[in-house]
Amino acid sequence: MSQDGIFIGGGGEGYGDPQELLLRYGNRHGLIAGATGTGKTITMQVMAEAFSRAGVPVFLTDIKGDVGGMAVAGTPRDAFARRAGTIGLADIGYAAMPVTFWDLFGRHGHPVRTTVSEMGPLLLSRVMDLTEAQEGAINVAFRLSDEQGWPILDLDDLRAMLQFLAENRAEMSAQYGNITTATIGAIQRQLLVLENQGAASFFGEPALDIRDLMQTTAEGQGRVNILHAAELMNTPRLYATFMLWLLSELFEELPEVGDADKPKLVFFFDEAHLLFNRAPRALIEKVEQVARLIRSKGVGVYFITQ
C-alpha cells in the first residue's frame, strides 16, 4: 500500500489485488451497502482503523455493541492470516486503537450534550418538524432569550420560555406578530415527543467541545470516537437531532480547506436507513444540505445501510 492511501480490501479475480482509498479523497463521502451478514460493520471497522493509523480522527456509531473491541489488540488466527494472504494484505498486524467512548444517555461512555441555545431555532424547528407559524414562535422565544439574557439550556428552559409567551401573549403578539395559544400548545406537544425519545439527556450542560472529537495521540494516530448507539437507534428523532447538530457545528466551526492531503475528521453512521426511513422530510433535506457542504471543511461522511 502507498503511504497516502488506506487499504480497504481485495479486488479483481480471486480478490487478490489490494484496493486502496487515497487519503486525499477521504472527504468525498461514501456509502457502505449490502445485505445483512455481508460485512458492512467489519468494513466500517477496517476503514476506521486505517484512517486512525493514517492520523485521521474518526467518529463512528456502534449499533451492535461490538465495535468497541478495537480498543484491544486482536488475537492472531490461521483463518485471518489466510484471508490476508488472499487479498494481498502483507502486514496484517494486531494492535489496539486509541478509543474514546461516548453515549448520549451517559451510561456506556462520556455523556454527549449541547444546549438548546447552541442548537438554535432553525435546527430545533427542523428536528421537531414544525410548521411555519410554530417556527416563528420558536424564533420569538430565542429572540426574547437573547434580549433578556435568559439562556435556554435544556428542554425545561424552553418549556418555561413558551409558557412565558403564552402568559404574555397579547404583549408579545403586539411586538413580534400574532402568537396563538394553539401554536404554543402544538410546540409543547412536539417537545413532549422529543423528550419521550430521550432528548432530555442530550440537552444541557456541559456542552460538548467539537475539538474533543478531533484529537490525535502523541504517536500521531487519530483517536477513534465510538458512540454507543444500541439504545439510540430506538429513538430515531434523537439520533437525527444529534447527527444534524454535530455536522452543523463542524461546518460552522471549521475553516475551509478544500481538498487537503487527508481529511480532518471522518464520520461513519451505521444503520443509516433506520434514521432516514423515519425522520421528517425537512430534517432529511437539512442533513443532505450539510453533508454536501461539509466536504470543503475536510470532513468525510460515510453512511452504512442495507
User: How do residues 135-150 score in pLDDT, each as one tens digit?
Assistant: 999 999 999 999 999 9
Bridge pairing between strands 5-11 and 17-22: antiparallel
Residue 83 lies in a domain: no
Regarding whether 301 and 212 lie in a shared domain, the answer is: yes
Regarding whether 274 and 233 lie in a shared domain, the answer is: yes
Residue 3 lies in a domain: no
Domain boundary among 181, 201, 221: 201
The per-residue pLDDT for range 163-184, each reduced to its tens digit, is 999 999 999 999 988 999 999 9
Confidence of residue 2 (pLDDT cuts 50, 70, 90): low
**C-alpha of 248 from chain center:** 10
pLDDT of residue 226: 97
Give me the CATH number covering residue 289: 3.40.50.300
pLDDT of residue 17: 82
pLDDT of residue 133: 93
How many residues are present in the chain? 306
Contacts of 255 (CB under 8 A, 6+ apart): 297
List b or e across 86-111, with b for residues whose CB sees 16 or more CB atoms inside 10 angstroms. ebbbeeeeeeebbbbebbbbeebbee
Q: Is the pLDDT of residue 1 over 60?
A: no
Q: How far apart are CA 245 and CA 227, in angstroms?
A: 15
DSSP state for residue 2 in the 8-state scheme? -
Which residues span the domain enclosing 159? 121-201
Regarding whether 246 and 217 lie in a shared domain, the answer is: yes
The per-residue pLDDT for range 104-122, each reduced to its tens digit, is 888 899 999 999 999 999 8
Regarding whether 163 and 142 lie in a shared domain, the answer is: yes
Domain boundary among 173, 201, 229: 201
Residue 15 lies in a domain: no
- Least confident residue range of 50-59, 98-107, 213-222, 285-294: 285-294
At 121, which helix (H) or strand (E)? helix 116-128
pLDDT of residue 110: 92
Residue 8 lies in a domain: no
Better-predicted residue by pLDDT, 93 or 225? 225
Q: Say if residues 298 and 257 touch (Cβ distance below 8 Å).
A: yes
Mean pLDDT for all residues in the chain: 89
Contacts of 155 (CB under 8 A, 6+ apart): 116, 191, 194, 195, 199, 200, 203
Confidence of residue 215 (pLDDT cuts 50, 70, 90): very high
Residue 50 lies in a domain: yes
Residue 1 lies in a domain: no
Q: What percent of the chain has pLDDT over 90?
A: 51
Q: Say if residues 222 and 216 touch (Cβ distance below 8 Å).
A: yes
List b or e across 162-196, with b for residues whose CB sees 16 or more CB atoms inside 10 angstroms. bebbbeebeebeeebeebeeebbebbeebbeebbe
How many domains does the chain fold into?
A: 2
Q: Is the pLDDT of residue 285 over 60?
A: yes
- Name 268's bridge partners: 60, 302
The per-residue pLDDT for range 9-46, each reduced to its tens digit, is 888 887 888 889 999 999 999 999 999 888 899 899 98
Q: How far apart are CA 241 and CA 119, in angstroms?
A: 9
Residue 14 lies in a domain: no
Residue 155 lies in a domain: yes
Q: Is the pLDDT of residue 75 over 90?
A: no
Regarding whether 194 and 226 lie in a shared domain, the answer is: no
Regarding whether 234 and 97 lie in a shared domain, the answer is: yes
- Nearest 5°: the CA angle 288, 277, 290 is 10
pLDDT of residue 188: 96
The per-residue pLDDT for range 92-108, each reduced to its tens digit, is 778 899 999 999 888 89
List b or e across 216-255, with b for residues whose CB sees 16 or more CB atoms inside 10 angstroms. eeeeebbbbbbbbbeebbebbbbbbbbbbbbbbbbbeebe
Domain boundary among 201, 219, 248: 201
Regarding whether 216 and 103 lie in a shared domain, the answer is: yes
Q: How many CB atoms lie within 10 A of CB 278?
A: 12
Q: What percent of the chain has pLDDT over 70?
A: 98
Q: How many CB atoms lie within 10 A of CB 83?
A: 14
Regarding whether 126 and 101 lie in a shared domain, the answer is: no
At 52, which helix (H) or strand (E)? helix 40-53
